[in-house]
Amino acid sequence: MPAENFGRHLQCWRNGGRKECKKDVIFNTIKGDLHNLQPSIDEVNGDRSNYRYSQFTKTFNQYGQCKTAVDFKQRQFQPSKEIRGVIARTYFYMQDKCNINLSDAQSKLMTAWDNTYPPDEWECERKKQIEQIQGNDNRFITEKCN
């Protein structure tokens, strides 16, 4: 989840955005939550910005072999099928942990992705490792792992 999505709910963000929040303990704790952090390609992550997730194309030619797409005019981002479930469970976790409201459209999309793309072995194992390191669970993954 982009920092703006959880940051804008904090006073530090309203006082000056990410720069002001660098000193905020709550912001830094949320920003560093391993359940929210995922590896990404810099260019793709930068282009994704804080755009909402969507499904809008079947053509993926912006990033070579990376099957993602950005619609800059509509400010939307379509991730590859391989990570849609991961994104959904991350968003549900952040919504639950940080009391962040998702729009009806985003909630429906995340629910569809969560149901269509269940966790694979690596996502289940990664969640266990994060729980050992960080001390808390992502129940949205746990519920679907054996």
Residues 36-76: tens digit of each pLDDT: 999 889 999 999 998 999 999 888 888 988 999 999 999 99
Mean pLDDT (whole number) for 90-95: 96
Provide the pLDDT for residue 88.
98
Provide the pLDDT for residue 61.
85
Instruction: Tell me the C-alpha distance between 112 and 2, whole Å.
Output: 20
Which of 114-138 are b and which e, b meaning 16 or more Cβ less than 10 Å from the residue's Cβ? Answer: beebebeeebeebbeebbeeeeeeb
Residues in the chain: 146
According to DSSP, the β-strands at 52-53 and 69-71 are unpaired
Q: With contact defined as beta carbons under 8 Å apart, do 12 and 23 qualify?
A: yes
pLDDT for residue 26 is more than 80:
yes
Reference 32, options 128, 78, 98, 101; nearest CA is: 98
pLDDT band, very low/low/confident/very high, at 141 (cuts 50, 70, 90): very high
